[in-house]
A and B are shown apart, each in its own frame.
Chain A
Amino acid sequence: MSGTLIVVAECAGREIHPATWDAVALAQHLNPERLVAVALSSDAAGLETAFAARVHELWLVQDPRLADYSAEFYCPALQQVIDSLAPSWVIIPHTYQGRDFAPRLAARYGRSLLADCTAVVQDANGIAFMRPLFQGRLSARVRAVGEAPHFVSVQPGCCVRDGGGLAGGALRVERVTPRFDAAPPRTKGDPPQRAAHESVDLTRADAIVAVGRGIGSAGNLEMARRLADLLGAELAASRPVCDEAWLPIERQIGSSGLTVSPKLYVAIGISGAIQHLAGMRGAGTIVAINKDAKAPIFRVADIGVVGDLHEVVPALIQALESRRNG
């Protein structure tokens, strides 16, 4: 592909968010003439090693005001880089941070963001991207139209991890000093607060039984708990269940909660919104019980049962109990 691609790296201090590598891998698939990673930080130590052989150039935008993330400083800093590089695409990790600044940045160029892409399609007409609709129940093929630059955000975990990167040439490093308005900032963030975790560590569980909105009521959790006990599993949930406070948020699986990879993951009444899948697709064996055969959870499941959970789960409990007692 001719032209320049920019990948916006997500760095907290010297730590690089893993979603950055999904964005880099996607950019590499497009085989760009010039692939530039842009890192905004106050401290760039170690970044050069990390990006060597993965991109052609690393642009380090350094300023004390970029030490902690803020859309108010990120947008003008990135705008400055985009204006000087004139890229065809700006590729952004679809993380909490990306979702916060990317729409503002795209709007500055009179563009919508092609958000939450899960795959890239290259055909005679050029490049298009797949993105989920209706919380993952449908998928759309979307193409950017009009003038460059185009803005796309990449769902973490969607691409093949980069397999060795770009061949040849040393990494060229460019240091940029951003110019900011003299106006005082209108937002100021405290240091992030880590969630207080329960004593149970779901990320170490061998087996997890997770319930979703389909469970219907808090009272029905009892059967899920019974099933979990029989399997020696921990009980977990998707977001709607924790929003209803039927289970504590410490047991929430998904992008806003925990990422787990147990040997066995039994999803009960979970439709499989992409945010949930992000937290569990790495599980060894995924079992899905759902009444809707088209639910996206079946796209990641190894074993699927299409049926009413209120019928299937009690029967399953009985089957497991009778075997144990028999």
Chain B
Amino acid sequence: MKIAVCMKQVISPDAPLTVDERAGWIREAEFPRETNEPDLYALELALMLKDSHQGEVTVITVGPERAVATVRDALARGADHAIHIVDAEAFAREPLQTAQVIVKVIRETHYDMVLTGLQSTDFGHGQTGVMIAELLGLPHVSMVVEVTLEQNRLRARRELEAGSTQWWDISLPCVLTVQSGINRPRYAGVKGIMAAKKRLVRTVPLAEAHTAPLSSSLSCEAMIVPAARENMTLLSGATPEVVTQLAERLRAVLGH
């Protein structure tokens, strides 16, 4: 079983964001980075399938130099190979462009399965994985919460609205996009981290991953911090006063 896992380095979800109003863009250089959380569940799913069915796991990322940290971390957790497509502008790419770049690299090797997180916690387009399936001409199941694999019969349970789910039979090779929270991503041990430092990350310059210019279909013109609700009552002050007021209001609402 050869599995590719697409992973993205994102701005940490807890980082305080500020927008440069004139540029209409966040001040991105300033923020701490981490691996997109949904992608960690995709990686763990791949590693679990490798543990039970043998095979190898290749992680692929597109990003600037610093994004190598994401695939190094994946190697430390147990991935076998890592590919870093170096694109200084990756942050501003739209989903189809990212998918096109990744597909070029995926096509070089036969993978039985390509896994991605459901969406990124930064731009949240939620499209790249499904688009990779389309560009590769492969079937997909999105928002996967459980997978079984027996004698090459792959079944994936997909999340639906309001707590419902649906099992799908899907033929290999295929693409799955993985929902958060479906497993417990393993941590990298000290040994893994030390070993990963010595492992080779294959670096692919963007120019090599795509030759035709990437056409765009979306233009992000401005970013804003949405305002709080105008008629919100903000209770402020010292905690004792705040909770006294709040308790009053809660009782009023409930008619206690």
Contacts and interface: CB of A to CB of B under 8 A. Distances in A.
Interface residues of A, number: 93
Interface string A63-77: 000000001100100
Given A106-B96, A192-B166, A141 B222 contact: yes
Given A186-B171, A303-B235, A315-B239, A135 B125 contact: no
Interface string B108-138: 0000000000000111111110110111000
A284 B30 CA distance: 39
Given A139-B226, A302-B233, A304-B233, A186 B174 contact: yes
A240 to B, nearest CB: 8
A315 B243 contact: yes
A191 B219 contact: no
A138 B127 contact: no
Interface stretch (A30-38, A158-166, A292-300): A292-300
A13 interface: no
A104 B177 CA distance: 13
A299 B227 contact: yes
B221 A187 contact: no
Interface stretch (B45-53, B157-165, B194-202): B157-165
Given A100-B130, A134-B17, A316-B246, A144 B217 contact: yes
Chain B interface extent, by class: 35 or more
Interface stretch (A1-9, A50-58, A253-261): A253-261
Interface in A78-102: 95-96, 99-100, 102
Contacts of B16: 292, 294
A193 interface: yes
A222 interface: no
Contacts of B170: 186-187
B62 to A, nearest CB: 15
Interface string B217-232: 1111111111111011
Contacts of A305: 234-235, 242, 246
Interface string A237-261: 0011011100001101001111100
Contacts of B211: none
Contacts of A137: 17, 225
Interface stretch (A20-28, A39-47, A108-116, A170-178): A108-116
A80 B223 CA distance: 36
A259 B163 CA distance: 11
Contacts of A95: 161
Contacts of B19: 138
Contacts of A134: 11, 13, 17, 121-122, 124
Given A96-B161, A112-B127, A320-B250, A304 B217 contact: no
Interface in A294-326: 294, 296, 298-307, 311-312, 315-316, 318-320, 323
A231 B250 contact: yes
Nearest to B133: A104
Contacts of B162: 195, 256-259
B17, B124, B135, B254: most-surrounded residue (chain A CB, <10 A): B124
Given A142-B218, A287-B250, A133 B236 contact: no
Contacts of B218: 112, 114, 142-145
A103, A146, A244, A304: most-surrounded residue (chain B CB, <10 A): A103
A300 B170 CA distance: 41
A99 B140 CA distance: 12
A128 B247 contact: no
A179 interface: no
Contact of A285 (B17, B247, B253): B253
B222 A306 contact: no
A192 B242 contact: no
Contact of B99 (A99, A107, A140, A141): A107
Interface string B75-93: 0000000000000000000
B147 interface: no
A307 B242 contact: yes
Contacts of B254: 206-207, 231-232, 263-264
Contacts of A219: none
Given A104-B134, A190-B167, A305-B234, 8 more contacts: A75-B134, A112-B216, A142-B218, A144-B217, A189-B168, A192-B160, A192-B166, A252-B163
18 contacts: A104-B140, A107-B99, A112-B94, A112-B95, A112-B217, A133-B123, A138-B226, A139-B224, A144-B218, A186-B174, A187-B169, A232-B256, A252-B163, A264-B250, A298-B228, A307-B242, A316-B246, A319-B246
Closest A-B pairs by Cβ, 10 of them: A243-B181, A195-B163, A103-B127, A186-B139, A103-B130, A111-B217, A319-B247, A112-B94, A107-B134, A104-B134
Interface of A: 71-72, 75, 95-96, 99-100, 102-104, 106-108, 110-116, 128, 132-146, 150, 186-195, 197, 206-207, 231-232, 239-240, 242-244, 249-250, 252, 255-259, 263-264, 266, 284-285, 287, 292-294, 296, 298-307, 311-312, 315-316, 318-320, 323
